[in-house]
Chains A and B, each alone.
Chain A
Amino acid sequence: MAQHEPTATGNGAWKPRIVAFFCNWCTYTAADLAGVSRMKYASSVRVIRLMCSGRVDPQFILEALARGADGVLIGGCHPGDCHYVEGNHKWLRRFDLLQRLLSDLGIEPERVRLEWISAAEGEKVKTVINDMVAKVTALGPLGLPGRFVQWDKELTALEHEIAEAAVAQPSVEREVAHVS
């Protein structure tokens, strides 16, 4: 379980996949601004627009990671600027404990990142994304779907044995003893 999958980072072929949840009022608008201003940022980010960072359910982040994301970025309005007054504060509190929970489960803190980016900060979208892509690239793939398959190989092994034993009837009862 501890071993990493072979990574393709060495030859530069591997690029991380980062899921970004951006709030409609600030960070998504900022990303729009970055686009309109023809700024270039890494193509590894898939942006999902939500109405508020307070809408980010911790389940979204776990699901993204479990389904193959190498990192998750959350962008919301600066504290005090939330369109819904409190939403970003709610997310900040969840983020704090979620980071602790994720680190207990072996996920590096750099993989899940929170940034406050206002509608005017197109430049910050670019810097944050590029910085995060660089950090996640350095960490290498998280590759959870592959890891789950790896874990479950210990199950398929027995299924094969059972199938073979069923073919080679009659089954021989092997004795099981407790070894001290």
Chain B
Amino acid sequence: MSAKPKVGFYWCASCGGCEEAVVDLAEDILGVVEAVEIVFWPVAMDFKKSDVEALPDQGIVATFLNGAIRTSEQEEMAHLLRRKSQFLIAYGACAHLGGIPGLANQFDREDILRWVYETGPTTVNDAKVRPQPEFTDSGRVLNLPRFHDRVRALDQVVDVDYYLPGCPPTPKLTKAAVGALLSGKLPPKGSVLAPDIALCDECPRKASKPADLSFTEFKRPHQKLLDPEKCLLAQNVVCLGPATRGGCEALCINGNMPCSGCFGGTSRVRDQGAKILSSLCANVAAKEPKDIRAALAGIPDPVGTFYRYGLARSLLRGRVNGGGTQNARS
């Protein structure tokens, strides 16, 4: 029994969708369970941190860790699982790039805590109580994790062996990754386990993408009835396909929604947001500053649109100065 390779799953700052993605393997998960021994999976099985601590270092073959790192507890678990695992895999957009939680890097810690515990419209907290890392109750000292200033992708905290991109990663990519691990046929360390080519390459609407795009305006999906056959860029909708790694088989496009960039850029891209900004803007039709501005007004929140999943891992890592943004709540 013990000959089976040990595998762990863990979640940090995430929504739980990546856990669903594991369950989405459906009946194939039975094959996985046959082949491996799951030693840690807080969402589904009753193992504790002490069980992981009791394992020898590198005793787990692979840990799939999803979610960004926001608190000291998540950071500590990332270190622990790194030590106990031969391969640590950043599973999903949050562990890979910081994900949606990474958007919080537009605000500083104090902004966030004040909003959540004091000024938010649904908050009733006259005593302005805030969670404290240390708390004494009837003589017993209790501890809560510390809330870090910044949201981080997993590889900004510990060394990562492989990345499975996506929000969440597709069952197909997950299966391929598990298969590669079990067979030992692994790509070079640091690889993203998905094709290294832009999404447009596998998009079913590729044929309708004009050679020369020319944007006169930008529309968001709710502002327009979308043709289900035609390239979304040709319909003046911001689609991140050109700056996003493929491998999802154009799931959102097939749902008639534009790509929002969850797979991150390809290996040639340093900063996904800058790349899609570059591509979209260059193809605006207007030439006069006033007309250019009018066309680009259709993209009201460039940070949230271009860095929806990648702000924490972007070149600037978030807001570098000052308080809330222009687009922030007022």
A148 to B316 alpha-carbon distance, docked (Å): 9
Q: Are A97 and B317 in contact (CB under 8 A)?
A: no
A94 to B295 alpha-carbon distance, docked (Å): 12
B233 to chain A, nearest CB (A): 15
A65 to B292 alpha-carbon distance, docked (Å): 25
Q: Are B50 and A173 in contact (CB under 8 A)?
A: yes
Residues of the A chain whose Cβ atoms lie less than 8 Å from the Cβ of B108: 1-2
| Selected contact of B72 from candidates A148, A151, A158, CB within 8 Å | A158
Q: Are A101 and B293 in contact (CB under 8 A)?
A: no
B330 to chain A, nearest CB (A): 14
The verdict on B287 contacting chain A, using a C-beta distance below 8 Å, is yes
The verdict on A38 contacting chain B, using a C-beta distance below 8 Å, is no
The verdict on A12 contacting chain B, using a C-beta distance below 8 Å, is no
| Selected contact of B316 from candidates A62, A94, A178, CB within 8 Å | A62
Q: Mark A26-60, 1 if CB is under 8 A from B, else 0.
A: 00000000000000000000000000001001110
A64 to chain B, nearest CB (A): 10
A100 to B295 alpha-carbon distance, docked (Å): 14
Interface residues of A in 138-171 (CB under 8 A from B): 142, 144, 147-148, 151-152, 154-155, 158-159, 162, 171
The verdict on B284 contacting chain A, using a C-beta distance below 8 Å, is yes
A57 to B156 alpha-carbon distance, docked (Å): 25
Q: Are A148 and B149 in contact (CB under 8 A)?
A: no
| Selected contact of A93 from candidates B142, B296, B315, B320, CB within 8 Å | B296
A106 to chain B, nearest CB (A): 3
Q: Are B319 and A171 in contact (CB under 8 A)?
A: no
Residues of the A chain whose Cβ atoms lie less than 8 Å from the Cβ of B176: none
Number of A-B contacts (CB under 8 A): 148
A63 to B269 alpha-carbon distance, docked (Å): 12
**Chain B residue at minimal CB-CB distance from A1:** B108
A144 to chain B, nearest CB (A): 6
Q: Are A2 and B144 in contact (CB under 8 A)?
A: no
Interface residues of B, dominant DSSP? mixed
Residues of the A chain whose Cβ atoms lie less than 8 Å from the Cβ of B149: 1, 151, 154
Residues of the B chain whose Cβ atoms lie less than 8 Å from the Cβ of A62: 271, 274, 314-316
A59 to B268 alpha-carbon distance, docked (Å): 12
Q: Are B302 and A101 in contact (CB under 8 A)?
A: yes
The verdict on B109 contacting chain A, using a C-beta distance below 8 Å, is yes
Q: Are A104 and B270 in contact (CB under 8 A)?
A: no
Q: Are B319 and A104 in contact (CB under 8 A)?
A: yes
The verdict on B190 contacting chain A, using a C-beta distance below 8 Å, is no
Q: Are B320 and A144 in contact (CB under 8 A)?
A: yes
Residues of the A chain whose Cβ atoms lie less than 8 Å from the Cβ of B148: 154-155
The verdict on A83 contacting chain B, using a C-beta distance below 8 Å, is no
Residues of the B chain whose Cβ atoms lie less than 8 Å from the Cβ of A63: 270-271, 315
Q: Are B282 and A104 in contact (CB under 8 A)?
A: no
Q: Are B320 and A105 in contact (CB under 8 A)?
A: yes
Task: Knowing A93-B292, A93-B296, say if A2 contacts B321 (CB, 8 Å).
Answer: yes
Residues of the A chain whose Cβ atoms lie less than 8 Å from the Cβ of B150: 1, 151, 154
Q: Are B79 and A162 in contact (CB under 8 A)?
A: yes
Interface residues of B in 133-170 (CB under 8 A from A): 135, 137, 140-146, 148-150, 152, 156-157
A-B residue pairs in contact (CB < 8 Å), sample of 16: A2-B321, A59-B278, A62-B271, A62-B316, A90-B281, A92-B289, A93-B292, A94-B282, A96-B293, A98-B281, A101-B273, A105-B106, A155-B152, A176-B143, A176-B145, A177-B143
Known interface pairs A59-B278, A62-B316, A176-B142; 8 further A-B residue pairs with C-beta atoms within 8 A, sorted by A's residue number: A58-B274, A65-B316, A92-B289, A104-B327, A106-B320, A147-B320, A154-B148, A155-B157
A residues with a Cβ closer than 8 A to B are: 1-2, 54, 57-59, 61-63, 65-66, 79, 89-90, 92-94, 96-98, 100-101, 103-108, 142, 144, 147-148, 151-152, 154-155, 158-159, 162, 171, 173-179
